[in-house]
Amino acid sequence: MSVLVVGSVALDTVETPSGQVTEALGGSATYFSLAASLYTAPIHLVAVVGDDFPSQGLAMLRDRQVDLRGLEISPGKTFRWIGRYGEDLNTAETLATDLNVFAHFDPKVPTEYRHESVVFLANIDPELQLRVLEAVDRPRLSAMDTMNFWIASKRDAVTDVMRSVDLVLLNEAELRQYAGVSNLMAAAQRVLDLGPRAVIVKKGEYGCAVFARDRYFAMPAFPLQRVCDPTGAGDSFAGAFMGSLAGSSFSWDAMRRAVLQGCVVASFTCEAFGVQRVLGLRTQDVERRLQQLLSYTQIQSAREEGLDHAVQNAAKA
């Protein structure tokens, strides 16, 4: 099943204790697309770049079956972000945000994308997110992300988007900020009360938690010996999560497996600068780490033991 994503495509300059990169391919929709493309195809990208955008950036995306018919190339400069991470790699310090052509982004959903089944609204102005939702003909699954800036400046529009989607993906701090309570369960409940089927809370090095009406699921992050650059980890999580769902079903069980995929791909993202590691990923790399994460978090259940026993008994009979 194809996936439509609307978000940013940017050129990132990032410094971390491991080194730095200059004007590397970045942006929420980029990370999302590359991660989602590991699970399903094609990915329909709706975004804008300037006419200075390097052609090898486009080639990288096309190579991974990202359909660029919705990528507008606008006269002017591409969105640029400059950031720095200190020893504590959990939070970035933004040194510069040059929106450039992204400042006037008016997402145009190509007519042929109107019947898209799976739609992801990455972090952009919530009013634009609403416009995109209106341009799509009742998707089977829709999800959104946002950020502290929109929660503070366009809270009502953020609420409207939350009311309109199936899944809300946020990081922990954003969820607490939006709900105005520090208890995560209580905060998630406030969002669930607006109507979405589930709230997926990204917790960085602590993994992920999913709150649904009567259900809960949590997965620790894949532990990393060295984090090179966490930029895009949350968007990669979202891409793998949505790609995995689009490639299977939208059941609760599928959602739990999708969380696992999200944690795995996000961990790879952190291991190199920018999209480098995710670009080089093969399905078997993901599968190997997924099995590792399972062995790190799963307990042989009483049920499994019971089944072992039943198999033995059946063999004896």
Applying CB under 8 A, which residues contact a copy of itself?
87-89, 182-186, 203, 205-207, 209, 216-220, 223-227, 253, 256-257, 260, 294, 296-301, 303-304, 307-308, 310-311, 314-315, 317
Complex with a copy of itself: residue 18 or 276, whichever CB lies closer: 18
Shortest reach from residue 155's CB to a copy of itself, in Å: 20
For the chain, how far is it from start to end, CA to CA, in angstroms?
45
Shortest reach from residue 148's CB to a copy of itself, in Å: 17
C-alpha 265/C-alpha 222 separation (Å) is 9
Complex with a copy of itself: residue 109 or 209, whichever CB lies closer: 209
Complex with a copy of itself: residue 157 or 254, whichever CB lies closer: 254
Complex with a copy of itself: residue 111 or 301, whichever CB lies closer: 301
Complex with a copy of itself: residue 153 or 251, whichever CB lies closer: 251
Complex with a copy of itself: residue 30 or 267, whichever CB lies closer: 267
Shortest reach from residue 209's CB to a copy of itself, in Å: 7
Q: Which of 123, 111, 117 minimizes the C-alpha distance to 47? A: 123
Shortest reach from residue 280's CB to a copy of itself, in Å: 22
Shortest reach from residue 29's CB to a copy of itself, in Å: 29
3-state secondary structure the chain: CCEEEECCCEEEEEEECCEEEEEEEECHHHHHHHHHCCCCCCEEEEEEEECCCCHHHHHHHHHCCEECCCEEEECCCCCEEEEEECCCCCCEEEEEEECHHHHHCCCCCCHHHCCCCEEEECCCCHHHHHHHHHHCCCCCEEEECCCHHHHHHCHHHHHHHHHHCCEEEEEHHHHHHHHCCCCHHHHHHHHHCCCCCEEEEECHHHCEEEEECCCEEEECCCCCCCCCCCCCHHHHHHHHHHHHHHCCCCCHHHHHHHHHHHHHHHHHHCCCCCCHHHHCCCHHHHHHHHHHHHHHHCCCCHHHHHHHHHHHHHHHC
Shortest reach from residue 305's CB to a copy of itself, in Å: 10
Residue 167: beta bridge partners? 143, 198
Shortest reach from residue 85's CB to a copy of itself, in Å: 11
Task: Give me the amino acid identity at 93.
Answer: E
Complex with a copy of itself: residue 165 or 188, whichever CB lies closer: 188
Complex with a copy of itself: residue 30 or 171, whichever CB lies closer: 171
Shortest reach from residue 184's CB to a copy of itself, in Å: 7
